[in-house]
Amino acid sequence: MPRRIGTLVRHVTFACVVLASLLPRTTHAQVGRATPTWREAIARYNAPGTTRVDGPYTLDTTARITGDVAVLTGPVRIAGTIAGHLVAVNADVRLDPSAVVEGDLWVLGGTLDRAPEARIGGEVRLQAEVLRYRLEDGVLVAEEMGLRDWLPADARDRAPRGVSTELFHVSAATYNRVEGLPVSIGPKLRRRTTWGRIDLSAFGLIRTAGPVEWDRSTLGHDASLQVRIGESKAIAVGARAFDRIDAIEAWQISDSESGLATWIAHRDQRDYYGRHGGEMTIGGRAGGYGSFDLFVGRERWRTVASRDPVTLSRAREAWRPNPIVDDGVVDLSGIRLRIDTREKPRSPLTGGWFVQADLERGRGRLLAALDPRIMSALPFAPIVPQDVAYTRGFLDARRRTRIAPGTELSLRLVAGGSLGGDRLPLQRRVSIGGPGSVEGYDFRRAPNDAVDVFTCGGIGIWPGDATQCERMLLMQAELRQPIGFDWRIGGDDWSIGVDERPSWVLFADAGRGWTRPGMGDPAFEATGIPALATFRTALGLGIDFGGLGLYVAKAVSTGPEPMNLLLRVGRRF
């Protein structure tokens, strides 16, 4: 492994040198030719014809303003028309259905909440980082970062310009039955340069689920370093070392939904395993619309047990056991791809897409978890590590298309599993069923026809209902349209009601999992894609209030199945 990492470092260094030589060089005399969003935003703010606002800004439905508008701190709410560009610095922006921005919309250090009917004639740019600035006689000036910005907070007063980078960062990840609330504590630093930026973080992980003991069940770490060459189009080189617990399948429901279900309803709909190791990456970035990474690394995988996190209900009930996984050391390599053009309004062909894909090649020596049926028949069977070599792929592709004013059709295709080699380790197998997939069926429950194509026989046999599917395919379609009803009452001075514009939602789901021939029960085996008649299907409808959705789903391929009532946080997909 050290030889592989050394070879990768040499290749990465050579690639960075070549790519850096191809990038345009920027000097102080050529700053106008470089086009990072924050520099262009400052130039537009300081332009003579720009309307400048410091604080909240609202443009009513019947109002029209000619020229560029720049807002500091905000928030910004647009219901009328801006015949020019809109720049929001460290401000959240909301566009109502009647909003029209004829030029570009740039949001720096804030979020964009855009109604589907809102029209933007130019380019949309979103920069998550907060802009550090100062005002000098009404002129906006960026706070350039220097070496003093790496000083800790207690050295703020000693810094020549009174600025510093905070070295103490605290964040929390998804609540789950293995870790409780995992808390990350440590420095998180960012430095911008004329050629790109450097990101550095070094977090210690504390898991709050009981019993709390000062061992690897409670403590972990996650440190990373990334160097980016370029601005909107960049080359990124990174390294990461970690000892963490990750979800086996995290694609079905969002982190917020999973955490809330665990904390409030005592129901964890994910499985977990331990990862300890490191990886190195090199890849590219295309603005905020896409990224890809080539990676290589080594990890030690291990089984982790359910613990006793605090919940608001059913606290005395036992948790579903976390399934056992294959333990051992693996060398990993592959590619990850992410494209998100759902906020790219000027491209009817390339806009409206979300694609997440990865290809992973694993090779190592694992202690395989044996089928409980074999263990019960041969209780003294020897368990020895085995050499494994597998290739696994995963694709989640979504498309949003506006087929009429206010009416949107969304399609989704999810496919994943083994592409060749040995059997997949348990932590790399796949499943469907329940919220986020075929929603007419409950999570990890066999349908009434007793043929479980959701986990391929994992239910009722493996501890924790571990999935056994080596491949799966899911197709989803959704039609939504705003409800033409005023959900607010009151006048100009006060109002009560729903702030978001609700939508009716009709949807259909179809999917199943399967195994390769010779991998287990013949009832679940298929050489290619199984016959569509064997897929499980469901229909549903609901109402989406923007951040909260209430849905009813009914299985139609098997019966009789009870109707499912689902409460979802955010859009279904």
Token pair for 174: 């998804």
Name 235's Cβ contacts closer than 8 Å, sequence gap at least 6: 15, 16, 19, 20, 228, 229, 282, 283, 284, 285
Q: Supply the DSSP symbol for 176.
A: B
pLDDT recorded at residue 352: 81
Q: Is 84 helix (H, G, I), strand (E, B) or coil?
A: coil
Q: What are phi and psi of 255, to 5 degrees?
A: -60, -40
**Amino acid at position 123, single letter:** E
Per-residue pLDDT tens digits for 7-32:
443 444 334 433 333 333 333 333 33
Element (H, E) at 24: none
- For the chain, give every domain's residue range: 36-140, 341-349+369-573
Confidence tier at 143 by pLDDT (50, 70, 90): low
Per-residue pLDDT tens digits for 255-285:
999 999 999 999 999 999 999 999 999 999 8
Give CA–CA dist 436/412, Å, rounded: 11
State the average pLDDT over residues 75-87. Answer: 92
Q: Is 421 helix (H, G, I), strand (E, B) or coil?
A: strand
State the average pLDDT over residues 544-569. Answer: 88
Give CA–CA dist 104/84, Å, rounded: 7
Radius of gyration of the chain (CA): 26
Give CA–CA dist 129/107, Å, rounded: 10
Give CA–CA dist 286/234, Å, rounded: 7
Give CA–CA dist 332/276, Å, rounded: 13
Per-residue pLDDT tens digits for 468-500:
899 999 999 999 998 876 666 666 566 666 656
Q: What are phi and psi of 87, to 5 degrees?
A: -120, 125
More confident residue, 46 or 130: 46
Q: Which residue has the tokens 């083994």?
A: 418
pLDDT recorded at residue 158: 43
Give CA–CA dist 257/570, Å, rounded: 9
Token pair for 209: 């689920």
pLDDT at 547 over 60: yes
Confidence tier at 147 by pLDDT (50, 70, 90): very low
Question: Is the link from the previous residue into 75 a cis peptide, with omega within 30 of 0?
Answer: yes
Confidence tier at 335 by pLDDT (50, 70, 90): very high
In this structure, of 9-18, 90-99, 350-359, the range with the lowest mean pLDDT score is 9-18
pLDDT at 376 over 80: no
pLDDT recorded at residue 241: 97
Name 534's Cβ contacts closer than 8 Å, sequence gap at least 6: 453, 512
More confident residue, 301 or 173: 301
Confidence tier at 345 by pLDDT (50, 70, 90): low
